[in-house]
Chain A
Amino acid sequence: MKEKDYFKISNKKFTSRLIVGTGKYKSFNECAKAVKASGAEIVTVAVRRVNIIDKNKPLLMDYLNPKKITYLPNTAGCFNSKDALRTLRLAREIGGWKLVKLEILGDKKTLFPEMIETLKSTEILSKEGFEVMVYCNDDPLMAKRLENVGAVAIMPLAAPIGSGLGIQNKMNIKLIRQKINVPLLVDAGIGQASDATEAMELGCDGVLINTAIAKSKNPILMAEAMKFAVISGRKSFLSIRMKKNFIGSPSSPKKGII
């Protein structure tokens, strides 16, 4: 029998191909419900200072059990390699996390990635034993270079982070797919379920979504929609779509027409 269609990252097997972010929710409770509805087995988290004023503030870990769901610490808010490395080394110290999401921004307005710092950091982190999933621009050549220095997954943007604009350059995503062998995930810019399906149909191994779920009117319902959108897109991709024709072709047989 054919092996089940697992999503593999750095020798770890997952069933769900949807990774969800845990930011921008109204509450940890809403976030936990959305994560559950999404079926995601990996969630991204940020590293920040603990609150020393309000000691009784709830903690994310009380709502999402890191023993049951894989935490993917990110470097959100870092604009250089030094800060990103510091953040991920701290994240590893919290509880041994090696699988991380590297995200180094270069521009506060567009939140586009700073690729020179990203490339440098990917190499350093990989040498330190981290398994680095990299947020990057949608440049096929840069994607290949990231793979060459040890990235375990390439995660190009579809559009700016939090923009919800959908996949702006489908051709580049396809070209990256052809160029790299490690998992490919569209990271930022998904706005609705059809965008996630499209990413999967382009050959992505997975999708990472935060704002499209958290900032919809009904995050729990949207989380579920994204779950099915990713499954649907994957199955559609694996089925290999029909050839496009530019003339009509009747679906019902002509024989026996009365």
Chain B
Amino acid sequence: MARKNKIKIKLNGKIISVDKGINLGILINKFKFPLNKIAIEKNNLIVQKNKIKKIILKSNDKIEIVHFIGGG
């Protein structure tokens, strides 16, 4: 049973539980992702990195965080 103060979101394809009312900035911070090395999408739309603190996560939001890896 879902707890009242928690919501479920999808982060990089994985369902995770986060505090209700949490903003995207706090989520990024929690995972210690360095902001200058990532890009963020929320529900298939690119999120500007300087606005992440203003974006409050809602239930079933789909967040994608990407970075550069080795490739040809």
Contact = CB atoms under 8 A, between A and B. Distances in A.
Interface of A: 21-25, 28, 31, 44-50, 52, 55, 59-61, 71, 73-74, 76, 86, 89-91, 93-95, 161-162, 188, 208, 210-211
B68 A46 contact: yes
Nearest to B41: A90
B31 A55 contact: yes
A50 B67 CA distance: 6
B11 interface: yes
Interface size class of B (residues with CB under 8 A): 20 to 34
B70 A73 contact: no
Given A23-B70, A47-B66, A50-B66, 17 more contacts: A21-B70, A21-B72, A23-B69, A44-B72, A47-B39, A52-B14, A55-B31, A61-B37, A71-B68, A73-B68, A90-B39, A90-B46, A94-B39, A94-B68, A95-B36, A188-B72, A211-B72
Nearest to B33: A50
B12 A50 contact: yes
Nearest to A20: B72
Nearest to A55: B32
17 contacts: A22-B70, A22-B72, A24-B72, A44-B72, A47-B68, A48-B66, A49-B65, A50-B33, A61-B37, A76-B71, A86-B44, A90-B46, A90-B66, A93-B39, A93-B46, A188-B72, A211-B72
Given A52-B12, A61-B37, A93-B39, A46 B71 contact: yes
A94 B46 CA distance: 11
B71 A74 contact: yes
B71 A45 contact: yes
A214 to B, nearest CB: 8
A23 B71 CA distance: 4
Nearest to B47: A93
A60 B33 contact: no
B62 to A, nearest CB: 12
